[in-house]
């Protein structure tokens, strides 16, 4: 990871940081609608922001039919996310995605395929996506992925702890996962689509950060509702508040639900407006996505050639 | 040229400025505008220049309307009115839909023009300004289609004069005229002197859309032009502007006495409670500075619970630092220019004076452009309610921040203001928020939201912010009364005339009876029913007294019937829900006005008095009523009935004496919320002028047979709606 700042040291569990925080859903919806309407990007600026989105993508495959060959193909795309003529047309020399994200059993294949590229391999773990496995097995899974060479671990939390407001159980679980991750950076997936309310999203985010998460991530991509802008706004405000209390800089990863170039711009505008320029780097911002890259590539080809692009001309992931 | 590689370093948004070529071409074609009267531009004579407030550049020259120009426009509106009203409802509905479509077709032209004309950011000129204008026309079209069914036999106010304020000119104009056109009335519009161009463009566009000539007429000019319109022989006047201009309009319009709606200055409170979503409240403050904070509803006084004052201030300060002030045509500008250099200078001086008194001013990191009517959004810390700025209409993106300890203190601070436009309340506690909303003396209360408008919900005004309704019902004229001559018979029991000194005591007693307004409608209904029954028991005796004094004894039966109806109405409804946005409860809460001063007619001395007093108290008002001199015993009798029926002391106080002289005292009393006068036209005109200082609604029904009058119309005069917005969503 290209992280230049210290990792999150964590903090003791302190419910007073989140118990009385109110999140008004219509107001959050109004804010994100206004944000994206008030800040527009055109021409070179839009192209640059789309390129930046690619730098921040965790290019992902998390399917039951994944094979090592399929993972190798994905890694090839991560090394070369844009066709050469598009890259040249943009005046850029090198570009890779932020990371490649796979299941633990695919980490080895991904590490081999990415050798020498500097692209980190992220592994989901802890009984992804539901997380309903005995804790020792979940911790063992983290250790396995790290041993296989994963530099980043995307863990899932036990939603029941949030729904039952059992903050100490949630804290202990995530803290144990952070310990198991060792040197690998830990992203805590909150599975926000299953937490029921924005206030719960805020609380879960704050507990995850107190327990030492380096990143907070919205979704597994397998919930009925994945990343949305109001959920993202809530999580970003939580990490801002955590930062204000501790000085720690926490990253944010929306995942699942970002499919179009327009989505990529909307989320980046949210980060820029709420957090500032630093949160537009892969050290502090990732996008978990599979199909998003294809749409961005089409948009960028159109920017370069002036023609509406066809995906048949672009390399498959 | 900047490269993608360079942008990847800075991650800037880049420029995004609109170039309103169509607007420039339109301005170049016209160059010098005349008035728009009877479907065409007149030749322009006396001219004034119109500037782009963001640059100071001259956009166009417009005519300075004289009294003759107003007369010509009025004649055109009168000539067109009968034909327009005679169209079938469906035809007027179609015409309004056509106008809405034409506005949508010309959206980019109109938004660009509004931005050049007013300095408002282009995004806000599109939405809400243009979007709400379209919505107003579409909503009014619906009301037109239902007119015959909803209001059979009702005629419109024939000609309405409209004076516009500069902020959000498209919405301002459409919201004022759409209901009028729907009802079958015609209009003469005087746009704000600083921003007249959108009104001229709209008049032209309406004609292109097929609106008959003379239905909408536009006369440009200055404050004198607006006053000439206010003083013209109008049926109705909708006047928006500063409170001082509103007072002048009240005086100017007093002789003709058109139905009057005033929309004047404001200084709106924002109440933040400890359980609020603080980030949402911070965004609410920013969103409340829509159109540069020039609307009366703009949040100007932030009242924050001491428990969260520190984090709230920190968050607002951080948010303020990020606001972009600049070129209104640039997409990234959050705040544009104020409408004129004069307004910017005025506001800057107010801020400077407040800083000189020791207030701390917080502003965005990036400074506004050096030229143009820009004022950086400013948060002033360390002011007190006594700081003059807190009692001054700001008309710009400026707010003070003060703290409160308890909800009661929050309400007290919020209500300690001469203005009553809007307020916003931030709390996640529905029990608290709805209580606060009920207790605020403003016409609009936004709960956990701000600056939401919709044609289906009235945006009213109270206190020095104005009065009077503006929706579709307000565009309909009252049913013609069965007028009675003002008889001048002497009566028995001629009471010794008390001096005007008795009025303040009665008003004070009325104020102390505020508990009446807090009773349930059912509770008031029971008292009124008891009044009806007491009257009924004494009907023989009362009839004999009326007969002996030369009046019709049948008045007694009519008064009993009226009391029964008033009791029923007290229990019949307390407002309704408006159909506005999705996920939005918009409550139109019917509230009493407060203390109503009443002076009743000479004919039908008992019924004429009761017909005003009973609906007024049914709605929860307290009254100070002056009976006609002809038969002051009517008041004595009613007072006895009220007392034995259990009406709390002070709810209705009668003061006998010289009616017109006492009515003047009521007109000049600031604690009297409204004045009803049923007497001579000359005195009515004088009283309207007398209320210019205290700015209260004055209702002057002609002396009439009250047995034939619809009591609901009287009740409507006795109520004002508070629009409470409550967005919901789990």
Q: Could you tell me the CATH superfamily of domain B22-263?
A: Aldehyde Dehydrogenase; Chain A, domain 1 (3.40.605.10)
Q: Where in chain B is the domain with CATH 3.40.605.10?
A: 22-263, 484-722
Report DSSP state, residue B425: E
Strand order in the sheet with B32-33: B32-33, B58-63, B47-51
Contact B332 A92 (CB under 8 A): no
**Structure-model confidence comparison of residues B331 and B262, the more confident one:** B262
Q: CA B26 → CA B30, B115, B161, B195, B500, distances in Å?
A: 6, 15, 27, 16, 60
Residue to test with chain B: of A20, A21, A23, A26, most B Cβ within 10 A:
A26
Contact in structure between B593 and B675 (CB atoms under 8 Å): no
Q: pLDDT tens across A174-207, in order? A: 999 999 999 999 999 999 999 999 999 999 999 9
- pLDDT, position A256: 94
Report the chain B residue with the minimal C-alpha distance to residue A41.
B13
Q: Which residues of A95-107 are buried (b: 16+ CB within 10 A; e: fewer)?
A: bbbbbbbbbbebb
Whether A41 sits inside 8 A of B16 (CB atoms) is: yes
Strands B719-727 and B422-426: unpaired
Active-site residue, A154 included: yes
What does the DSSP assignment read for A61-130?
---TT--HHHHHHHHHHHH--S-HHHHHHTT-S----SEEEE-GGGHHHHHHHTTTS-PPEEEEESSTTT
The per-residue pLDDT for B497 is 53
Asked if A91 and B4 touch (Cβ cutoff 8 Å), the reply is: yes
- At residue A228's C-alpha, the angle toward residues A227 and A232, to 5°, is 85
| B260, containing H or E segment | strand B259-263
pLDDT at B488 over 80: no
Q: For B333-359, what is the mean pLDDT? A: 97
In chain B, residues under CATH classification 3.40.309.10 are: 268-463
Mean pLDDT value across chain A: 96
| Residue B552 touches partner A, C-beta closer than 8 Å | no
Q: What are the residues whose beta carbons fall under 8 Å from the beta carbon of B356, sequence distance 6 or more?
A: none
Q: Does residue B254 register a pLDDT over 80?
A: yes
Mutation test of the interface with chain A: which of B2, B5, B277, B311, choosing the one with the most A Cβ atoms within 10 A? B277
* Contact between chains at A24 and B448 (C-beta distance less than 8 A): yes
What tokens does A159 get? 């939603």
What DSSP character marks residue B127? I
Q: Quote the pLDDT of residue B509.
A: 96
Report CA dihedral (B661, B664, B668, B669) to the nearest 10 degrees. Answer: 70
Please tell me what DSSP assigns to residue B451. Answer: S
pLDDT(B100) > 50:
yes
Q: Are strands B259-263 and B466-467 parallel, antiparallel or unpaired?
A: antiparallel
pLDDT tens digits, B314-328: 999 999 999 999 999
For residue A254, which of A62, A76, A57 has the smallest C-alpha distance? A57
Distance CA B226, CA B49 (A): 17
CA pair distance A24, A197, nearest whole angstrom: 10
In sequence order, what DSSP letters do the residues of A258-307 get, joined into one string? Answer: --SHHHHHHHHHHHHHHT-GGGGSTTTB-EEESSHHHHHHHHHHHHHHSS
Report CB contact under 8 Å: B332, A47: no
* Identified catalytic residue from A187, A214, A217, A263: A217
Q: What is the pLDDT of residue B371?
A: 94
Closest CA to B473 of B194, B171, B259: B259
Q: Name the strand (E) or helix (H) holding A187.
A: strand A185-189
Angle between helices B659-667 and B681-690 (to 10 degrees): 20
What are the strands of the beta sheet with B36-37, ordered from one edge?
A: B40-41, B36-37, B216-218, B186-190, B159-163, B236-240, B259-263, B466-467
A44: nearest CB among B4, B280, B332:
B4
Tokens linked to B605: 């001395």
Mean pLDDT for the stretch of residues B327-353? 96
Q: Minimum mean pLDDT among A48-57, B80-89, B164-173, B485-494: which range? A: B485-494
Compute CA distances A312 → A91, A294, A302, whole Å: 23, 10, 14
User: Catalytic: A214?
Assistant: no
pLDDT digits (tens, 9 = 90+) for B422-446: 999 999 999 999 999 999 999 999 9
The topology under which CATH files domain B484-722 is Aldehyde Dehydrogenase; Chain A, domain 1 (3.40.605)
Cβ atoms < 10 Å from Cβ of B21 = 11
Average pLDDT over every residue of A84-110: 97
- pLDDT tens, position by position, A138-174: 999 999 999 999 999 999 999 999 999 999 999 999 9
Percent of chain B residues past pLDDT 70, beyond the cut: 98
Q: Does A35 touch chain B (CB under 8 A)?
A: no
Let me know if B514 is exposed, middle or buried by CB neighbors in 10 A (0-12, 13-18, 19+): middle
3-state helix, strand, coil in chain B (%, to 5): 45, 20, 35
Contact B16 A42 (CB under 8 A): yes
Residue A28 contacts B where some CB pair is shorter than 8 Å? yes
More confident residue, A310 or B408: B408
Residue B106 pLDDT grade (very low, low, confident, very high; cuts 50, 70, 90): very high
Q: What is the pLDDT of residue B493?
A: 42
Is B307 in the A-facing interface, judged by CB distances under 8 Å? no
In B609-713, the DSSP E strands lie at 622-626, 652-654, 674-677, 698-699
In degrees and rounded to multiples of 5, residue B252 shows phi and psi of: -65, -35
Buried b (16+ CB within 10 A) or exposed e, A127-166: bbbebebeeeebbebbbbbbebbbbbbbbbbbbebbeeee
> Phi and psi of B523, rounded to 5°?
-65, -45
Q: Do A28 and B275 lie within an 8 Å CB cutoff?
A: no
| pLDDT tens figures, A263-291 | 999 999 999 999 999 999 999 999 999 99
Question: With an 8 Å Cβ cutoff, is A277 touching chain B?
Answer: yes
3-state SS class at B9:
helix
Which of A154, A214, A263, A295 is catalytic? The answer is: A154
- Cα A19 to Cα A23, B74, B94, B276: the distances in Å are 11, 64, 55, 13
Q: What is the pLDDT of residue B702?
A: 96
Rounded to the nearest integer, the mean pLDDT of chain B is 95
ipTM at complex level: 0.94
Q: Does B649 score more than 60 pLDDT?
A: yes
Distance from CA of A89 to the nearest CA of B (A): 10
Architecture per CATH, B268-463:
3-Layer(aba) Sandwich (3.40)
pLDDT in the model for residue A4: 61
- The whole-number pLDDT of residue B104 equals 97
Q: Sort B484 into a burial class: Cβ within 10 Å, 0-12 / 13-18 / 19+.
A: middle
CB contact under 8 A, A38 and B287: no
CATH fold for domain A15-314? TIM Barrel (3.20.20)
Q: Is A262 a catalytic residue?
A: no
Whether B501 has a pLDDT exceeding 70, the answer reads no
Backbone angles phi, psi at B329, to 5 degrees: -80, -10
Side-chain half-sphere exposure of B349, counting CA atoms within 13 A: 7
* Contact between chains at B10 and A277 (C-beta distance less than 8 A): yes
Q: Is A307 on the interface with B (CB under 8 A)?
A: no
**Domain assignments of chain A as residue spans, ordered by start:** 15-314
Name the more confident of B20 and B268: B268
CB B485 within 8 A of CB B720: no
In order of A71, B421, B439, B458, B578, the CA distances from B724 in angstroms are 56, 12, 12, 10, 10
Q: What is the pLDDT of residue B397?
A: 97
Query: What is the arrangement of strands in the sheet containing B674-677, beginning at the earlier edge strand?
Result: B652-654, B622-626, B595-599, B674-677, B698-699
Partner B, chain A 150-189, Cβ-Cβ below 8 Å: none
Query: Alpha-carbon distance B153 to B254, whole Å?
Result: 28
How far off is chain B from A35, nearest CA to CA, in Å?
A: 10
- Percent of all residues in chain A with a pLDDT value above 70, rounded to a whole number: 99
Per-position DSSP letters for B57-121, written without gaps between them? -EEEEEE---HHHHHHHHHHHHHHHHHHHHS-HHHHHHHHHHHHHHHHHTHHHHHHHHHHHH---
Give me the pLDDT at residue B487, please.
Answer: 66
**Reduced to 3 states, what is the DSSP secondary structure of residue B692?**
coil
- Choosing from A58, A77, A187, A253, the catalytic residue is A253
* B16/A272 touch (CB, cutoff 8 Å), yes or no: no
* B244 CB within 8 Å of a chain A CB: no
Q: What is the DSSP string of B164-210?
A: --SSSHHHHHHHHHHHHHHHT-EEEEE--TT--HHHHHHHHHHHHTT
Q: What is the mean pLDDT of residues B641-659?
A: 96
Q: What number of other Cβ atoms are within 10 A of residue B223's Cβ?
A: 17
> For position B492, what pLDDT does the model report?
38
Q: What is the pLDDT of residues B678-701, one digit of tens each?
A: 999 999 999 999 999 999 999 999
% of chain A at pLDDT higher than 90 = 93
Whether residue A291 lies within 8 A of chain B, CB to CB, comes out as: no
- The reported pTM is 0.96
Greatest CA separation for chain B: 100
> Which residue bears the tokens 């000194």?
B501
d(CA B153, CA B70): 31
């Amino acid at each position: 990871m290209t992280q230049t700042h210290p990792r999150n040291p964590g903090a003791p569990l302190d419910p007073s940081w989140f118990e009385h925080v109110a999140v008004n859903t219509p107001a959050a919806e109004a804010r994100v609608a206004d944000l994206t309407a008030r800040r527009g990007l055109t021409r070179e600026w839009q192209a640059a922001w789309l390129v930046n989105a690619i730098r921040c993508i965790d290019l992902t495959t998390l399917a039951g039919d994944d094979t090592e060959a399929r993972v190798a193909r994905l890694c090839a795309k991560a090394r070369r996310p844009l066709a050469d003529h598009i890259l040249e047309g943009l005046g850029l020399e090198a570009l890779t995605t932020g990371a490649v994200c796979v299941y633990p059993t695919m980490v080895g294949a991904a590490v081999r395929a990415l050798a020498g590229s500097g692209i980190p391999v992220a592994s989901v773990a802890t009984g992804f996506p539901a997380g309903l496995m005995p804790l020792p097995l979940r911790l063992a899974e983290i250790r396995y992925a790290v041993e296989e060479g994963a530099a980043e671990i995307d863990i899932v939390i036990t939603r029941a702890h949030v729904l039952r407001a059992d903050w100490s159980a949630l804290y202990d679980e995530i803290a144990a996962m952070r310990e198991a991750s060792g040197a690998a950076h830990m992203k805590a997936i909150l599975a926000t689509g299953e937490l029921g309310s924005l206030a719960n999203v805020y609380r879960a985010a704050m507990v995850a950060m107190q327990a030492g998460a380096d990143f907070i991530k919205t979704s597994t991509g397998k919930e009925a509702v994945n990343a949305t802008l109001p959920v993202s706004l809530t999580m970003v405000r939580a990490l801002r508040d955590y930062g204000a209390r501790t000085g720690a800089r926490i990253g944010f990863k929306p995942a699942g639900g970002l499919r179009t170039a327009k989505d990529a711009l909307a989320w980046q505008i949210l980060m820029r407006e709420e957090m500032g320029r630093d949160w537009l780097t892969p050290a502090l911002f990732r996008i978990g996505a599979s199909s998003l890259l294809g749409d961005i590539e089409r948009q960028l080809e159109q920017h370069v050639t002036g023609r509406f692009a066809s995906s048949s001309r672009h390399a498959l992931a | 040229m900047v490269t993608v590689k360079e942008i990847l370093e800075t991650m800037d948004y880049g420029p995004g400025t609109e170039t309103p070529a169509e607007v420039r071409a339109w301005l170049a074609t016209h160059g010098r505008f005349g008035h728009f009267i009877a479907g065409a531009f007149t030749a322009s004579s006396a001219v004034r220049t119109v500037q782009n407030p963001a640059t100071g550049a001259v956009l166009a020259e417009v005519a300075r309307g004289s009294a003759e120009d107003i007369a010509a426009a009025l004649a055109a509106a009168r000539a067109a009115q009968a034909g327009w009203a005679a169209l079938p409802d469906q035809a007027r509905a179609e015409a309004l839909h056509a106008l809405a479509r034409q506005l949508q077709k010309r959206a980019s032209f109109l938004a660009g023009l509004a931005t050049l004309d007013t300095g408002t950011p282009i995004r806000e000129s599109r939405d809400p300004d243009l979007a709400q204008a379209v919505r107003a026309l579409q909503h009014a079209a619906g009301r037109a289609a239902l007119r015959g069914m909803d209001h059979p036999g009702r005629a419109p106010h024939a000609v309405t004069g409209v004076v516009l304020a500069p902020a959000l000119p498209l919405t301002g104009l459409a919201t004022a005229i759409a209901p009028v056109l729907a009802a079958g009335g015609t209009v003469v519009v005087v746009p704000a002197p600083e921003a007249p161009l959108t009104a001229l463009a709209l008049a032209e566009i309406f004609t292109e859309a097929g609106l008959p000539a003379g239905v909408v007429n536009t006369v440009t000019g200055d404050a004198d032009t607006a006053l000439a319109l206010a003083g013209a022989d109008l049926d109705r006047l909708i006047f928006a502007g500063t409170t001082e201009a509103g007072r002048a309009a009240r005086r100017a319009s007093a002789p003709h006495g058109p139905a009057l709606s005033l929309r004047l200055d404001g200084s709106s409170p924002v109440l933040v409670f400890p359980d609020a979503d603080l980030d949402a409240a911070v965004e609410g403050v920013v969103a409340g500075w829509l159109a540069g904070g020039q609307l009366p509803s703009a949040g100007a006084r932030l009242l924050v619970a001491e428990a969260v004052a520190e984090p709230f201030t920190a968050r607002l300060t951080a948010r303020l630092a990020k606001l972009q002030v600049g070129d209104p045509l640039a997409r990234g500008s959050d705040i544009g220019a104020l409408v004129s250099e004069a307004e910017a200078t005025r506001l800057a001086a107010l801020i400077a004076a407040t800083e000189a008194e020791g207030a701390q001013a917080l502003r965005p990191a990036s400074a506004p452009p050096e030229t143009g009517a820009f004022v950086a959004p400013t948060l002033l810390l360390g002011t007190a309610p006594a700081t003059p700025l807190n009692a001054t209409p700001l008309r710009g993106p400026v707010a003070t921040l003060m703290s409160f300890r308890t909800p009661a203190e929050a309400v007290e601070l919020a209500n300690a203001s001469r203005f009553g436009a809007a307020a916003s309340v931030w709390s996640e506690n529905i029990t608290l928020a709805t209580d606060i909303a009920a207790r605020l003396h403003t016409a609009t209360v936004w709960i956990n939201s701000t600056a939401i408008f919709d044609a289906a919900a009235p945006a009213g005004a109270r206190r020095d912010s104005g009065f009077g309704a503006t929706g579709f019902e307000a565009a309909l004229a009252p049913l013609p009364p069965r007028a009675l001559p003002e008889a001048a018979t002497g009566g028995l029991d001629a009471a010794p005339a008390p001096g005007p000194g008795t009025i303040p005591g009665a008003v004070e007693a009325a104020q102390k009876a505020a508990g009446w307004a807090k009773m349930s409608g059912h509770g008031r209904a029971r008292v009124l029913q008891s009044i009806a029954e007491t009257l009924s028991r004494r009907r023989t005796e009362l009839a004999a007294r009326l007969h002996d004094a030369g009046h019709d004894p049948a008045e007694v039966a009519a008064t009993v019937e009226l009391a029964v109806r008033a009791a029923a109405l007290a229990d019949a409804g307390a407002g309704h829900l408006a159909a506005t946005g999705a996920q939005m409860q918009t409550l139109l809460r019917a509230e009493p006005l407060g203390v109503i001063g009443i002076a009743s007619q000479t004919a039908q001395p008992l019924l004429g008095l009761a017909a005003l007093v009973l609906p007024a108290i049914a709605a929860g008002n307290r009254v100070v009523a002056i009976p006609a001199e002809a038969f002051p015993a009517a008041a004595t009798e009613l007072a006895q009935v009220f007392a034995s029926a259990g009406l709390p002391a002070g709810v209705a106080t009668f003061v006998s004496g010289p009616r017109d002289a006492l009515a003047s005292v009521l007109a000049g009393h600031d604690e009297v919320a409204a004045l009803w006068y049923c007497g001579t036209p000359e005195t009515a005109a004088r009283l309207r002028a007398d209320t210019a200082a205290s700015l209260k609604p004055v209702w002057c029904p002609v002396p009439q047979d009250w047995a034939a009058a619809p009591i609901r119309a009287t009740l409507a005069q006795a109520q004002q709606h508070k629009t409470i917005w409550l967005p919901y969503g789990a």
